[in-house]
Structure 1
Amino acid sequence: MKNNNYPVAQQLTIPDALNQAYTHWNAGQAQQAEQLCLRVLQVLPQQPDAFHLLGLMAHAYGKPDLAIDYLRKACLFPAVPATYRSNLAEMCRQKGLLTEAEQVARRAVEQEPQLIAAWNNLGIILQESGKFEASLECLQRVVSLQPDNPEAFNNLANTYKRLDQLDQAQECYRRALALRPDYAEVHSNLAFLLNDLGRFDEAVASAEQAIDINPQLVDAYFNLAQIEMSRMRYADAQRWIDALLAFAPQHAGGLTARAQLLVNGEHYHDALACVRQALTIAPDSANAHNVLGKVLQALGLHDEAALAFDRAATLPGTVAEQALAARAVLLMETGNKEEAIAAFDRTLERFPGSVRVMAARSDSKTYRTDDPDIAAMEAALVRAVKPAVSDQMSLHFALGKAYLDTGNSERAFFHLDKGNALKRASFSYDAARTGEWMQKIAAAFTPALMQKFKDAGAASERPVFIIGMPRSGTTLVEQILASHPAIHGAGELSALRHAVELAGIFPDDIARWNKEDFARIGRDYLSRIDGLAPNALRLVDKMPANFLYAGLIPLVLSGARIIHCRRNPVDTCLSCYSKHFAGEQLFAYRLDELGAFHLEYQALMESLRKVSPADRFLEVDYESVVDNLEGEARRMISFVGMPWDDACLSFHKTRRIVRTASVSQVRQPIYSTSKGRWRRHAAYLGPLLNALGIEQPAEDAP
């Protein structure tokens, strides 16, 4: 370069000074290297080599902003080595500046097409930007130039995985491990791939092997947590996230994963604090903004949730498709069905042919035989490159609904059986133990106990509990009640469960509780709902699983009312079997287990009905509501102590948030097509009918 003969000191030229600076740096003598670079810049303020070395040093010492500033100055000169631009691109990528990173990396490969590091960096940048086809092209070039480079195969595998080409991804990961068996990052990445393939135990073993090799590999802990979350082992997932944050407390991905776990546990305010902390560390994290949207959605802050999903969709990364679909579902929940349909359409314009979006919008439509979504989803399941197991599940459930809509029972149950089997294989569930637990609950609530503590609870007329099996009409009943101007429908609250869990082990500890213990649980519950619609005279808590606490509610909340929703057992179970629930309904994914659970539920409710205060316990049959809406609605409004209001008959027009699997149904007037629905599909319900002790109708027998 010109001016290289300017002296830095009497005995050093600029090239000599820079050579010595690099020598000091390579020897670990950072202070001496920095001093020499600064002396060079005193003489030649725009010397790019000095800026480059200062940038490398700043990066090594955890000063990314300063490092990028130095590298930008170094790269102002057209003639600097392509390596400088490649290094700047990588630093920008690490900082999340993907647009600048891509621009600089492209300059590097244009300047020196044989610079493998630059192609590698560009491939990773494009991968993280969601430009997977372009990333694949770059990384395939790297592998062709360096066929024995395990890092190159790892990077290429990551892009194949993003493209859902899982077989090619696995082949590349295996190739990388063949070249370098102790490559911890590849063991971790392979674990995440195996999770997508539904090979959960192998996935856990691979991630644990990564940690054995490198105990501080944050991605391995993160992947282990994701694996355990995918099979609903939340305690194990929490253990891995805690281990990660113990040595990397400012890891934004770990904090975001913790927030997701808190959402799963319905600790929404804690989740909000956690994800906001992640965003202070990584304000441009698309994943963190997406999780923020989920948290805000769960808290009922729908306008803020929409903004968070929109922000996630505009940031570089791989969650835009998921965020946009979530945004459309949010519109469904708020009653804006036409806007939701338009939002799904716009998402498909951005991600043409996305079967994930097609599956996500299945509840927003009634399918016709010629619906193009059906053919597209069918094709996705039979193509050579299979979707991830989670996507296969979603597709099977969506197709099950589609064929139920079109009246094709054979195809509907082909897909429902497949989807349920995949889901059931992802977690452990002990049907016998669950039945024993419900029997223990029934035995705990004796007439003597109910009489002794009948006045123990916190006195409040405000709570109304709607309980029953999922898909038994609980959402419909809530919507009718919530259409009354003095009644607020709060949705499915976890408040009672949290209050009970805080008090002890249920039902084991009931025999040891005294009057104050019952009152404390009631006060705890009331404190959790106090901020919800404070002006409403009645607040409806529609958590179906609160049927487990139906005996406890009168003892902890002496003024509370319970509405128990009932529906034909086979129709109820069929409706459960046809839904891919967002929450934990572990009993719902095998027909025989569904039937067994329903029998235990019926026995429990029969026992609790006998000991419940008659004036505080009402049973409502779904079929009766369908046949006599006004009569049943008036009975319910009278039961909760409110004057009649005609708005309750126009429940489908009530604009409120509905966050359940029944979101689309309660936006319609009453219809009777779900009554006795199971008979049309009886030939495919053998295990369920056997478990329930119901004979298969002769005319429907296969």
Structure 2
Amino acid sequence: MIDKVDEINKIYELLNSNKLNEAEILINKLFKLNPENIELLNLKGELFKKLGKYLEAKDIFIKVKELSSPNIPVQVFLNLADAHISLKEYDDAEFIYNNIIAMNPNNIAVLNGLGRVLVNKMMYQQALNQFNKALALDESNYQILFNIAYCLKYLEKYNESIDVYKKYLNKLNMNQTNTKHLAAIYLEMGINYLAIEEFDDALNYIMKSKDLNPNNPHTLSNLGLLYVKTDRLDEAESLFVDTYNLDKTTDIFAYNYCHILLLKGKDDEAKEIIEKFISEHPKSYRMIKLIEKVKFNKSNNMFNWVKDIHNDSETPLKVKIESGFGMFSILDKEKEYEEAFEYLFEANNLYNEMQGYSYERILKFHDYCKLIRYADNTHITNQKKHPTPIFIVGMPRSGTTLTEQILDSHSLVHGAGELRVIEEIAKKYEISNYSQNEFLVNKETLKKFQEDYFEEIKPLNIDNKPYFVDKMPGNYLFVSLIKAALPWSKIIHCKRNPMDTCLSIYTKKFVEDSNAFYSLDGIARSYISYNDLMHHWYNKFEENTIFDVIYEKLLDNPEEKVRGLLSYLGLEYEDKCLEFYENERFVKTASSVQVRKKLYNTSVERWKNYEQQLTPLYKELKQAKIV
């Protein structure tokens, strides 16, 4: 033992106040006197951790463990496990924690540590279980709330995560809380609000975070994502460029930058960055989501990278699903259809098992939409006051993005992309509450609906153009509501070969909640219900209320069909509408790459490449007299 108690205490103070140079000098001075003093070794390990020298820290803690044997304190194991986590040696850390739990299942620090390991292994539900156990043992340990909220976010329980963060904030002493930690909390809350599309709250918390930590690339990146969601796309691009240049080693920054490049049609630039990043970070899973948007083939290193990740037994389930879609995309382009479909079938099955869906709920809502009645709307027209909304509806992958791109290329039309405005306002006034047998929408509600709609879209139509495109395919559910609340609006129905449409849906992992689209049976049933509802609208409304754009006919005779479309809208023909591929607007849907190209017919009758595999789908559609 050494009798330098005051100096030991001084080291603790220096480490706690991050005066690392002074701490190192004092540790080295005392270390020369007693190089095997366990307390000094622990302090040296802590110093190395703070200096980012994790390998040296691990070696020190291993030595402490050897010197402490056979009665090794739990804290020694905790220090060693923490070093393993810092080195991303998660299995080693997990092994240590599980051994301690086997002897003492109620050690809060161990449960919390194991939860951290599981978070890093993307096993968020298991991590949450450990954090909840720790909190149950000591509810006053409010620091665990941060970890719980963090897991809830990744489990997509965003509202619960927000509530826990608020509870955590209420327990913090703001005067004693580290500024960067507070900024991290605000950022996490902003991310949650962004996920549930509460954009004002998201902006509020992200800007709070930015004020406290202005150069944090994670904050700037999420602000960019918010700007993408709110169509401030040039500002988003600027932020993504900045964050990528600040940190080219973190996958989310490279991903966001490549994603924005792809949205702008800069495929070659994105491909170069993706290839470089993956060569340097082969364990980065995030880039898999971009594989189908970039032209890779089997001879490219990217193919082997995706395949290795897919076949790795340690690959998380969500990543395995993404890699399955990625493998399909590459093999489909190589015309190796049988093997391609095997990956596609597996990916869809895995996702379907994980999510599930209720077809009965879908069918019930379709039937309910037919029953909604609307009051007389003769006197609610404000056509001179507002732009003419153009609603593009239909099934996903039926040419809706192409149609919008054509219209946005017209000088009098603004294409706003996919908006959930109609759906959200319908929820607000309980019009979409299908628990009722029948619903009458009165005149006052229709007026409020109209006012709310134009209030929502006003910030999007920044050039104040007289025509405004709202391209949400699922708005086919609300055709009757749209015509009641916005009687001068235009409805464009995009149609495509049903088998091609259904196959194309099956090949995509949708961002939004479309759980019925991950099985052939679910897609068939969804298509049949959609087809039935559209026939109901055709029978209900006068001829020419709904204008059909048939994908195959548009490809065969583009000028004639575009002229007909513009005539229906009351617009003069402009050549730019046929040069839509030169339009530099951002396109945020799965078709963002396709609409950068001239019209092509390689996707027509594509389903025949998979005719045998799609037999069950074909039979269901044939029985419904759709094919």
TM value normalised by structure 2: 0.84
* Structure 1 equivalent of residue 429 of structure 2: 503
Which runs of no fewer than 5 residues in structure 1 stay unpaired?
1-14, 23-48, 60-66, 86-108, 127-133, 696-702
Aligned counterparts of 2:560 and 2:215: Cα–Cα separation in 1 = 54
In the alignment, which residue of structure 1 is the partner of 2:137? Answer: 213
Q: Show the counterpart of 2:69.
A: none
Distance apart, 1:482 and its partner CA: 0.7
Kindly indicate whether residue 578 of structure 2 is the aligned counterpart of residue 649 of structure 1: yes
- Preserved CA contact (<8 Å) 2:112 2:131: yes
Which residue identity is paired with 2:582? K
Does residue 1:623 correspond to 2:552, yes or no?
yes
2-structure distance, mates of 1:651, 1:528: 27
Match of 2:189 in 1: 258
1:348 aligns with 2:278: yes
Change (3 A) 1:415 1:145: farther
Letter in 2 for 1:324: A
Picking from 347, 352, 369, the partner of 1:419 is 347
Distance 1:346 1:579 in 2: 25
Residues 432 and 156 from structure 1, CA distance in 2 versus in 1: closer, same or farther, beyond 3 angstroms?
A: farther
Q: Which residue of 2 aligns with 1:610?
A: 539
> For residues 287-366 of structure 1, what are the structure 2 equivalents within 5 Å?
287-313=218-244, 320-348=250-278, 351-354=280-283, 356=285, 358-366=287-295
**Does 1:566 pair with 2:495?**
yes
- Paired position in structure 2 for 1:552: 481
The 3-state SS of whatever aligns with 2:418 is: coil
Q: Aligned pair 1:436/2:378, yes or no?
A: no
- The answer to whether structure 1 residue 406 and structure 2 residue 406 are counterparts is no
Deviations 1:287-326 (A, max 9, x none): 333322211222233343244334544668x981111111
For 1:533-561, what per-residue CA distance to the aligned partner results, in whole angstroms no more than 9, with x for missing partners? Answer: 23312111112222222221111112211
Distance (whole Å) between structure 1 residues aligned to residue 129 and residue 532 of structure 2: 42
Tell which deviates more after alignment, 676-685 or 355-364. Answer: 355-364
SS in 2 for 1:493: coil
Corresponding position of 2:79:
152
Equivalent residue, structure 1, for 2:587: 658
Q: Tell me which amino acid in the other structure corresponds to 1:118.
A: K
Per-residue CA deviations over 1:10-48 (Å, capped at 9, x if unaligned) read: xxxxx99x96997xxxxxxxxxxxxxxxxxxxxxxxxxx
Distance in 2 of aligned mates of 1:119 and 1:19: 20
Query: Distance between the aligned counterparts of 2:450 and 2:227, measured in 1?
Result: 27
Q: Which amino acid aligns with 1:646?
A: D
User: Does the 8 A contact of 2:183 with 2:212 survive in 1?
Assistant: yes
For 2:243 and 2:378, locate their aligned partners in 1 and report how far apart those are by CA, in whole Å.
51
Q: Which residue of 1 aligns with 2:68?
A: none
Letter in 1 for 2:299: D
Q: Which residue of 2 aligns with 1:600?
A: 529
Which protein is bigger by CA-based radius of gyration?
Answer: 1
Tell me how far 1:478 sits from its aligned partner.
0.5
Assess if the C-alpha contact under 8 Å between 1:325 and 1:347 holds in 2.
no
Distance 1:200 1:157 in 2: 19
Paired residue secondary structure (1:659): coil
**1:493 is aligned to 2:412:** no
Match of 1:483 among 375, 396, 409: 409
My pick for the range that moved more, 232-241 or 662-671, is: 232-241
Deviates more, 1:570-579 or 1:416-425: 416-425
Number of matched residues? 599
Q: Tell me which of 441, 463, 468 is aligned to 2:394.
A: 468
Pick the aligned partner of 1:453 from 361, 364, 377. 377
- Using the alignment, how far apart are the partners of 2:619 and 2:572 within structure 1? 45
Pairwise mapping of residues 373-412 of structure 1 onto structure 2 (< 5 A)? 373-383=302-312, 386-412=314-340
AA partner of residue 263 (structure 2) = E
**Contact map agreement 2:495 2:548 (CA 8 A) in 1:** yes
Query: Secondary structure at the residue paired with 1:539?
Result: strand
- CA drift of 1:403 comes to 1.0
Post-superposition offset of 1:211: 2.6
Aligned runs of 1:91-106 on 2, under 5 Å? Answer: none
SS in structure 2 opposite 1:115? helix
Which consecutive unaligned segments of at least 5 residues does structure 2 have? 66-71, 175-180
Shift of 1:157: 5.3
Q: Which of 558, 563, 572 lines up with 1:634 in the alignment?
A: 563
When residues 533 and 81 of structure 1 are mapped into structure 2, their CA distance, relative to the original with a 3 A threshold, is same
- Distance in 2 (CA, whole Å) between partners of 1:693 and 1:136 is 64
- Look up the SS of the partner of 1:669 in the other structure: coil
- Report the equivalent of 1:171: 95
| Aligned partner letter, 1:328 | C
1:406–1:184 Cα change, 3 Å: farther
Aligned residues: CA RMSD:
3.7
Report the Cα distance in structure 2 between the residues aligned to 1:506 and 1:544, rounded to whole angstroms: 17
1:471 aligned counterpart, secondary structure:
coil
User: Within 2, Cα distance between the matches of 1:670 and 1:84?
Assistant: 76
CA deviation after TM superposition for structure 1 residue 219, in Å: 6.7
2:12 & 2:82 partners in 1: Cα distance?
Answer: 27
